[in-house]
Structure 1
Amino acid sequence: MLLFARFLVLLLLLGLSSCASLYFPPPPQVPLLTQQGEFSGGIHSNFGGNTSLQGAYAVTNGLGVMGSASFLHRNKPKKAENFDFFEAGAGYFTRLPDQRVLEIYGGYGLGSSDRTDRTREGVVEQRQEGNLNKLFLQVNYSAKKHQTLHLFGNHFPLSYGTALRLSHVELSNFKLDGVATRGEDNIFLEPITFSRVQVLGPVQLQLISGGNFGLKHRKYLRAANAVFQLGVVVNLGGQEGRR
């Protein structure tokens, strides 16, 4: 019941939060690598259509690399939005006592974004477009707490963790209605929690929830108040034990 209540609360938060920003944060990647040769891949999306493909690989027993591609393309009567973004990073991971995992990653991202606002009659009010560049630092931690979900007579292992990402994003080559305009920058703080349910072998369903906070007041690079992502994660070649 607690898990279902959490879903309902998150759905309400999602419905209350809105953002006219040109930046749609991809979900923080939490591969939780444990040893050399391990691969983690996943796909995540939300009800807004922001979809992300992710992959990570343990190059050595301590060095991991990761990359992701995120896309959002939607056309509504009063607005159209297009967002394409790519990230790559590298960092350190280690297995802690009691089967916990700690990861620290840094990386770079780039992409493009545009938004067209229209009246009810379909007349264009304003068009915004520009390029995005991002530097980020992220810490992932899989906690000791584990539970089991009992559903339809089956037992599904549950694991939990947290992540904190700090990002500096710049909006460049910015245009308003085709006219070059001064860009913006912002610093985003994203604390999130994630829950994983092991459904079959290495396949896990993942729920990401949390917040996104802009540390600067900006008009076109604003932060959404709620983060909500559902996805599927697969880990291959890692150490035994929940992560």
Structure 2
Amino acid sequence: MSKIITNHYLFILFCAVFLSSCSSIYMPNVPATPMFKNAGEVYVAGHFNAKGNISATAGAALSEHIAVIANGSSVNTGASNNDYFRQQLVEGGIGYFTAIGKEKRQVLEIYGGYGIGNTKDFKQRASIYGYELVESREMNFDKIFLQLNYSSTRKKKINIFGDKKELNYGTAIRLSRVGMKEFWLNGATSPTEENFFIEPLFYTRMQLVNGLQLQYTNGFNIGLNNNEYLKAGNSVFTLGLVYTFGK
């Protein structure tokens, strides 16, 4: 079993590295994965990586099975290399959640939502005068998504430095329609594109203290349309903190 799991994650890593080598004007964000079990729970989380990808997510369980979520993300790669990438994205959604299994250690959530964002992607090259602009790509876009979350809590806690910690494994799969509302190529108005993305994401959470967890996330996206600019190609690798309260 451990060998199968190891091979599974190696395959995910290979896909993510391969896809990240492509050039895309769209960067997938870290979706909200609150994994609610009871009414009244509140979830907040923050995620980041060394490439300037920062995400904040939140959610609240309004009743025994209905919840709302909200996400905000910012990507800023800086201008010290050939690629200058900026993206801002906000989104919200509503959905259904339920705990399953005899011991209620598994959680299933389904959300639908809408988001808006903008991207600036500048391609540059080094010259004797510094960096010269080769191509600029800017867009305003909107996004409609359907998201499925599933998580499982490990039955036995793990022992770390003499203290037992709870461990969770989870998967979030998104089906997203992303469409350009406006698109500028080298400052000139250009024809817009749209794409449909499959965005699988995998995460592991480890309890730090009651209600607070450390989360490692990795994921990638698959584009169904053969576009020139709005296509798959960027992966997500982040570390974050998740806090749930109000149980």
Regarding TM over 0.5, the answer is yes
Q: 1:81 aligns with which of 80, 85, 89?
A: 85
Measured after TM superposition, the shift of residue 172 of structure 1 is 2.3
Measured after TM superposition, the shift of residue 217 of structure 1 is 1.5
1:61 corresponds to: 64
- Tell me the SS of whatever aligns to 1:30: coil
2:45 corresponds to: 42
Which piece of structure 1 moves more, 174-183 or 156-165? Answer: 156-165
- Tell me the SS of whatever aligns to 1:94: strand
The structure-2 alpha-carbon separation of the partners of 1:76 and 1:12, relative to structure 1 and needing over 3 Å to count, comes to farther
Measured after TM superposition, the shift of residue 197 of structure 1 is 0.2
CA separation in 2, counterparts of 1:233 and 1:134? Answer: 25
The structure-2 alpha-carbon separation of the partners of 1:12 and 1:162, relative to structure 1 and needing over 3 Å to count, comes to closer
Is 2:48–2:54's contact at 8 Å kept on the other side of the alignment?
A: yes
Is 1:146–1:160's contact at 8 Å kept on the other side of the alignment?
A: no
2:246 corresponds to: 237
Is 1:162–1:193's contact at 8 Å kept on the other side of the alignment?
A: yes
Answering whether residue 120 of structure 2 is matched by residue 111 of structure 1, we say no
CA separation in 2, counterparts of 1:114 and 1:231? Answer: 25
2:192 corresponds to: 183
User: Residues 59-110 of structure 1, C-alpha deviation per residue, up to 9 Å, x if partnerless?
Assistant: 1111101111100122233121111000100011112232121111000010
Q: Counterparts of 1:90-129 in structure 2 under 5 Å? A: 90-97=94-101, 98-99=103-104, 100-121=106-127, 122-129=131-138
After superposition, the CA RMSD in angstroms is 2.2
CA separation in 1, counterparts of 2:119 and 2:166? Answer: 39
2:21 corresponds to: 18
Answering whether residue 195 of structure 2 is matched by residue 193 of structure 1, we say no
1:150 corresponds to: 159
Letter aligned with residue 93 of structure 2 = G
Measured after TM superposition, the shift of residue 13 of structure 1 is 6.9
Identity %: 35
Is 1:146–1:159's contact at 8 Å kept on the other side of the alignment?
A: no
1:207 corresponds to: 216
What TM-score does the superposition give when structure 1 sets the normalisation length?
0.88
Measured after TM superposition, the shift of residue 120 of structure 1 is 0.7
1:168 corresponds to: 177
User: Residues 126-155 of structure 1, C-alpha deviation per residue, up to 9 Å, x if partnerless?
Assistant: 111010110000011123644533333332
Is 1:19–1:222's contact at 8 Å kept on the other side of the alignment?
A: no
- Tell me the SS of whatever aligns to 1:119: strand
CA separation in 2, counterparts of 1:233 and 1:201? Answer: 11
CA separation in 1, counterparts of 2:218 and 2:126? Answer: 33
The alignment of Structure 1 onto Structure 2 pairs a total of residues equal to 234
Is 1:147–1:159's contact at 8 Å kept on the other side of the alignment?
A: no
The structure-2 alpha-carbon separation of the partners of 1:223 and 1:206, relative to structure 1 and needing over 3 Å to count, comes to same
Answering whether residue 31 of structure 2 is matched by residue 28 of structure 1, we say yes
CA separation in 2, counterparts of 1:204 and 1:25? Answer: 23
User: Which blocks of at least 5 consecutive residues in structure 2 are unaligned?
Assistant: none
2:139 corresponds to: 130
CA separation in 1, counterparts of 2:215 and 2:81? Answer: 32
CA separation in 1, counterparts of 2:239 and 2:208? Answer: 14
